[in-house]
Every structure is written in structure tokens, then in C-alpha cells.
Copies of this chain bind each other. A is one copy, B any other.
Amino acid sequence: MPQTNGERVVADLKRLAEFGRYKTGVHRPTYSAEDVASRQWLAEKFAEAGLDPVIDGIGNVIGRNPRATRRLLVGSHSETQPHGGWLDGALGVIYGLELARAFAADPALAGLGIEPIAWADEEGHYGNMLGSRSFTDALPDSEIEAGRSRDGVPLRAALAEAGFAGRPRERLDPQRYVGYLEAHIEQGDWLDSSGLKIGIVEAIIGNWNYWVTVTGQQNHAGTTQMARRRDAGAGMVRLANRIYDRFAELAGPRTVWTIGRMLLDPNAPSIVPGRAEMQVQFRDTDTAILERFEQALYGLVAEADRAGPCHIEIAPISKSEPAAMDAGFQTLIEQAAERHAPGGHLRMPSGAGHDAQILSRRVRSAMMFVPSLNGISHHWSEDTKEEDIVLGAQVFADAAAAILQAG
């Protein structure tokens, strides 16, 4: 079995967190100077581990292993959310590096190779999982042309500034790999609140998103009689209230739904809102539940539109399908977890999206979670106990070895 070095893992994570340090977290948006420097540092670490590093035309950093006969691709993304956590993404990248080192150091694992990878822009600063979609031929050129940051910087300009423009983009050869493994912090509190150490991801949830637009009539809030109003804000509130009620009735045990964004126009205290918009999202691993929610949502919108007095429209924004993780890989991760943390593991869905959902369309894929303290995520205060980081690395390495050794 490969022997991971927990001290080395923690030290590398801390070094990586220096690129863009913010309080106890990290601010390292994709293609920022800190992100580019951190990718160059990762390439150097991959080289030190005896691999052939490549930073490709979209910013993915991969450590090619030309000697192995059976390989696993192992990684996650290395950029962070704005003022995000030091482990989110980075943990899975450094685990990939550590696995490559541990496998290389163990003569008993000769011929079994790990190729670590740091995906670009899973966090969506310029697009939607650009790195893993580029790698799996699922990123059209048109999307690269159209990509922009929230500040309006074109993706092309950011790639040029980063020094990545003009480089070839690495592509997946499915024959090259037994599969893809990704470790990540849980980002929720199932593990932490139960004192568990390892999560074995059964599926990555599908995430369906919609814009709902309510069109009324902007008017003076003092002089417009109630009976004559077409208040878009009131229309939105009434509809949102019905959505909350109906979704609660339709939910499966782990369905989640959120109205995270609401806008009134003109959003002034003495003006009857003429327009209101909200973004409705729901997630589940079960496509049947997602379809049930969608049908209910469209029904409620149509009903509210018919009832008036506002005109209400709905448009889909994005619909990611649920992605099942490989069943055989799950069993082997679970066995490794049971060996190092008997009874301390849980099969669970991933409520967040991950590059593994993109990879799983092309190769057998699996994910492993370590606990997030208090479930905090996408915030600089995100953290995980050092002992859990160390334990997770060893479980992950054992699982990788078992996967590579299996038929």
C-alpha cells in the first residue's frame, strides 16, 4: 500500500495558500497573477515528483507520467472563490500530487501511475468548469470567445495576460486512464456534525436554474390606488411564497431549493415596482425529482401569470444533469475508509458541482470528501482539522491503489 506523508501534504497546502492569502483563506481568482504563479509552482512540484508537467491553453496543469502502464487521473481545481477557503479545490490537487509521490516511492506499485491535475476555473470566474470541459472536448470555441468575467474582462484577454494563449489544450484519451478520482472538502456539515471522517460520493447532484421575470407597471406609491396597481414586487413575493410551499411538498429527502437572487426595479421606497426578477434553483441526484420540480415551477408561473395583474415569464438558465459516481470505485473507497476510520464514513450525494461530473461522462469517476468544520464553504473561514486532512490523504491513496490493482 502507498504511504502518504501527512506533514508534507499539510506543508504543501499551506504553501499553496500563500498565493493570494486573505485572512485565514485565499483570494485567487482564475487567471489572476496569484493564480498563474500558483499554477507555475504546481508545475514545478509535479516535475519534482518525476512527472512531465504541462500548463495547457486553458490553464489546466497536468503532471504526465510516461512510464506507467495503468494510470489514474487525480485532481481538482486550484483557483478559489473570491475571498474563499484555503482547501476548497486545493486539497484535491495536493492529494493528487501526494499520491503521485507515494506511488513513485513504492516499488510494489511499479507500473501504476498517478497523473495529478489542477483544473482551471471550476469556480466559474470566466465560464462554467472551463478546464475539465476543455479536457473532455465539451467546451465549444464559441464559449471561449464569449467568456467574460463579472467585471467584463474577456476570457481571451485573461488567457493572453496569463501567458496561456496560443498553447494547445490538452485532451482526454480515455484509453490512457483507469479512471478519474477527485477529493474535496464536503462543503456541508453531514460529516462534521456526525463526527465522521470520510464521505463517499454516490452522485453529484443535478442543478437546475431559472430566471423568473415579473412585469407590472411602475407607478407612484402614494397616488396609485391599490385596485389599479400592477405591483411586480408583490407579484414576485406571492409567487415565491407558493414556490416555497409547493417545493416542500414535492421534495425528496435531500432535495434543496433556493431563491438566492431577487431584484426589484426601480427598487425605490416610494415607487410601485414595475419589474421584478428572481433566480430559482433546485438540486437533487434524482432526475425524476428535478423534472417534478420543473413541472411544478412552470405550473405555478403559468397560474400566476393567468391570475394577473402582472405578466410572469420563466426561462431556464442552466440544467446540469445528476452524475452518478462509479459503483466499483465507491466500494473500494469505502473499504479504504473502513480500514483507516472504522465506522467513520458515509455514502452521500455531493450537493455542489465538481469537475468529476464532467469527467464522469467520459471515464469511470469517483469522489471522496473530508469534513468541513461547521460546513462552512466559499468563505475565507472554511477549514478542516489537520488530522482529517492527513487521514483523508492516506484513505485516498489506498483507494487509488486498490482501483489501479483491480481488474
Q: How far does the alpha carbon of A75 sit from the alpha carbon of B317 in the complex, in Å?
A: 53
Q: Which of A65-73, A113-121, A154-162, A214-222 contacts B (4 or more CB under 8 A)?
A: A214-222
Contact in complex: B188, A352 (CB < 8 Å): no
CB distance from A147 to the nearest CB of B (A): 18
Complex Cα–Cα for A269 and B255 (A): 16
Which among A9-17, A104-112, A271-279 touches the partner chain? Answer: A271-279
Contacts of A5 in B (CB 8 A): none
User: A190: shortest Cβ distance to chain B, in Å?
Assistant: 8
Separation of A225 and B186 alpha carbons in the complex (Å): 13
Indicate if A8 sits at the interface (CB-CB under 8 A). no
Partner of A223, one of B188, B209, B240: B188
B residues within 8 A CB of A209? Answer: 269
Residues A221 and B262 in contact, CB atoms below 8 Å apart: no
Q: How far does the alpha carbon of A269 sit from the alpha carbon of B278 in the complex, in Å? A: 9
Tell me which of B218, B260, B283 contacts A273 (CB under 8 A). B260
The answer to whether B221 touches A281, judged by C-beta atoms less than 8 angstroms apart, is yes
Q: Tell whether A331 is near chain B: CB-to-CB under 8 Å.
A: no
Q: List which A244-278 residues lie within 8 A (CB) of chain B.
A: 244, 248, 251, 254-264, 267-273
Cα distance A270–B219 in the bound complex, in angstroms: 32
Partner of A264, one of B188, B228, B256, B261: B261
Proximity bits, A122-150, B CB within 8 Å = 1, else 0: 00000000000000000000000000000
A194 at the interface (CB under 8 A from B): no
Check A256/B221 contact, CB under 8 A, given A209-B269, A240-B237: yes
| Cα(A251)–Cα(B244), bound, Å | 27
Is A4 an interface residue, CB under 8 A from the partner? no
In the bound assembly, the distance between CA atoms of A269 and B150 in angstroms comes to: 14
Q: Is the CB of A233 within 8 A of B220?
A: no
The answer to whether A224 and B269 touch (CB under 8 A), given A234-B244, A244-B234, is no
CB distance from A189 to the nearest CB of B (A): 7
| B256 A270 Cβ-Cβ under 8 A | no
Q: Inside 8 A of A234's CB, which chain B residues have their CB?
A: 244, 259
A79 within 8 A of B: no
A279 and B283 contacting across the interface, CB-CB below 8 Å? no
Confirm or deny: A377 has a beta carbon within 8 angstroms of a beta carbon on chain B.
yes
A-B interface, 10 closest residue pairs, ranked by CB to CB distance from nearest: A188-B223, A222-B351, A223-B351, A221-B258, A222-B352, A241-B241, A187-B223, A269-B279, A237-B240, A220-B377
A residues near B (Cβ < 8 Å) are 186-190, 205, 207, 209, 218-226, 228, 231, 233-234, 237-238, 240-241, 244, 248, 251, 254-264, 267-273, 279, 281, 283, 317, 350-353, 375, 377-379
